[in-house]
């Protein structure tokens, strides 16, 4: 099907047609989105139209022109990321192993010592526990490491205008965030060259989107600029401020790992910790509940064979940062381990023996050397690592489950 036919048959504007192409996964020779001759003219017209929208929101012409200097076409990689639909949700153990591991805990403890004074000041002024802030920092940007990766960090104005212009599902999001990003430039918190972020416009150590930045970013180091890209005090205090503003309860736990009594069903919804205790849901470490009247909800993410948790008010505050149970639980567990608690009493229901972070990197290195893998040696098992493991397993006549197991590592070491 030609693009012309497609445009005609859908009776859509160029932007919608692009989105339709993307949605249908239709490849017509060259990727349409990255064909500048087609994209440029439309995009540049769109930018000119958006200039007046921005002016209505108080963006000066000079800020606008500075922001769009050199931004002449949509970013094809942003569109590729925007249309990416994972074939399946990562298994729960992959999610947690990638985020709560000996490396993220170890670096977290290092940062705990390194930023002791700052973390104390933030606790005092904003009331959010230091371990929680470190865990968020780890989850969002790997303690700032991601910001050094030029393959990940992109021009925020270009990313957001790409979404606003060419991604049908995120048009509104893109426009709204773009206005907020231009306001950041207008105010002078950061210059345009350093206004970088993820493909979806998440920025700095704490990965705030521009509207979150507008609402919650703070200048904690007192230099007059809210710099979540380069100032660790500003970034961590901004994360604390988001939690505090949404109702974080200072000094309260996020939740507890619990043991479930055999052979009974559990009520959905919340009950007091005392009531949970009464029906036999107790902490795995044998301690009592410090605030028995607080209301808690049971979370079981990995079936009856996996770990179980009672989660409290602050768990839901973590979900304000990222609205997923997995996310909030990973922050809570990582914070607990950075604070010195041991690993889970009941491990994830992982059908293989877990590798350490270094072993996972070693496995990726072997896969790379042998031509199965061309991604980063980052100790994180994503779709590319899983596919590489599967390919290796098939080649060896093993069951191709894609799991980063001891068995696979042992086997590949011997190759």
Determine the length of the chain: 415
Tell me, what DSSP letter sits at residue 69?
T
Smaller CB separation from Ca ion, 104 or 141: 141
Minimum CB separation of residue 213 from Ca ion in Å reads 13
d(CA 87, CA 383): 9
User: HSE-up of 352 (CA within 13 Å, CB side)?
Assistant: 18
Structure tokens at 324: 């997923």
Characterize 132-151 residue by residue with b for buried, 16 or more Cβ atoms within 10 angstroms of its Cβ, and e for exposed.
Answer: bbbbbbbbbbbbbebbeeee
> How far apart, in Å, are the Cα atoms of 145 and each of 122, 124, 164?
22, 27, 28
Q: Which is nearer to Ca ion, 225 or 350 (CB)?
A: 225
Give the CB-side neighbour count of residue 148, counting CA atoms within 13 A: 4
Kindly list the residues in this chain that would bind Ca ion in the complex (CB under 5 A): 219, 221, 223, 225, 227, 231, 234
Q: In the complex with Ca ion, which residue's Cβ is closer, 197 or 233?
A: 233
By beta-carbon proximity to Ca ion, the closer residue of 227 and 294 is 227
- Per DSSP (E only), the strands in 222-361 are 255-259, 270-272, 282-283, 295-299, 308-311
Dihedral angle computed from the Cα positions of residues 170, 378, 242 and 335, in that order, rounded to the nearest 10 degrees: 140
CB of 215 to Ca ion, least distance (A): 17
Minimum distance of Ca ion from residue 226's CB (angstroms): 6
Q: How far is the CB of 204 from Ca ion (least distance, A)?
A: 12
Distance CA 127, CA 67 (A): 36
> Closest-CB residue for Ca ion?
219
Q: Which is nearer to Ca ion, 238 or 385 (CB)?
A: 238
* Nearest-approach distance from CB 228 to Ca ion, in angstroms: 9
Identify which of 161, 114, 140 has the alpha carbon closest to the alpha carbon of residue 204.
140
State the minimum distance, in angstroms, from the CB of residue 105 to Ca ion: 29
- In the complex, least distance from residue 230 CB atom to Ca ion, rounded to whole angstroms: 9
Please say which residue, 123 or 221, places its beta carbon nearer to Ca ion: 221
Q: Which is nearer to Ca ion, 222 or 269 (CB)?
A: 222
């Amino acid at each position: 099907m030609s693009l012309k036919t497609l445009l005609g048959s859908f009776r859509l504007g160029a932007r919608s047609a692009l989105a339709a192409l993307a949605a249908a996964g239709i490849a017509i020779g060259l990727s349409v989105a990255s064909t500048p001759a087609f994209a440029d003219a439309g995009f540049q017209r769109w930018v000119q139209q958006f200039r007046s929208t921005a002016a209505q929101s108080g963006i000066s012409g000079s800020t606008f022109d500075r922001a769009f200097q050199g931004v002449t076409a949509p970013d094809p990689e942003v569109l590729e990321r925007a249309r990416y639909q994972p074939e399946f949700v990562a298994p729960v153990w992959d999610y947690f192993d990638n985020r709560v591991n000996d490396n993220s805990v170890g670096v977290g403890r290092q940062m705990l010592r390194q930023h002791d004074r700052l973390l104390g000041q933030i606790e005092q002024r904003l009331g959010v526990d230091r371990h929680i802030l470190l865990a968020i920092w780890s989850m969002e940007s790997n303690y700032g490491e991601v910001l050094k990766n030029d393959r990940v960090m992109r021009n925020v104005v270009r990313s957001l205008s790409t979404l606003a212009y060419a991604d049908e599902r995120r048009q509104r999001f893109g426009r709204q965030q773009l206005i907020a990003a231009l306001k950041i430039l207008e105010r002078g918190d950061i210059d345009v060259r350093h206004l970088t972020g993820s493909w979806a416009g998440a920025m700095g150590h704490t990965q705030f989107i521009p509207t979150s930045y507008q609402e919650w970013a703070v200048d904690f180091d007192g230099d007059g600029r809210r710099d979540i890209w380069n100032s660790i005090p500003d970034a961590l205090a901004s994360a604390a401020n988001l939690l505090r503003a949404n109702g974080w309860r200072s000094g309260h736990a996020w939740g507890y790992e619990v043991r479930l009594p055999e052979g009974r069903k559990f009520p959905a919804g919340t009950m007091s910790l005392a009531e949970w205790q009464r029906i036999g849901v107790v902490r795995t470490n044998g301690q009592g509940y410090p605030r028995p009247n607080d209301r808690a909800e049971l979370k079981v993410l990995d079936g009856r064979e996996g770990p179980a948790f009672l989660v409290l008010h602050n768990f839901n505050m973590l979900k304000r940062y990222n609205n997923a149970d997995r996310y909030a639980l990973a922050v809570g567990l990582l914070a607990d381990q950075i604070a010195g608690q041991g690993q889970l009493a009941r491990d994830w229901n992982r059908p293989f023996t877990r590798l350490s972070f270094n072993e996972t990197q070693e496995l990726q290195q072997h896969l790379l050397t042998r031509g199965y893998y061309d991604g980063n040696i980052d100790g994180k098992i994503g779709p590319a690592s899983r596919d590489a493991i599967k390919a290796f397993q098939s080649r060896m006549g093993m069951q191709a489950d894609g799991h980063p197991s001891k068995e696979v590592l042992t086997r590949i070491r011997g190759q």
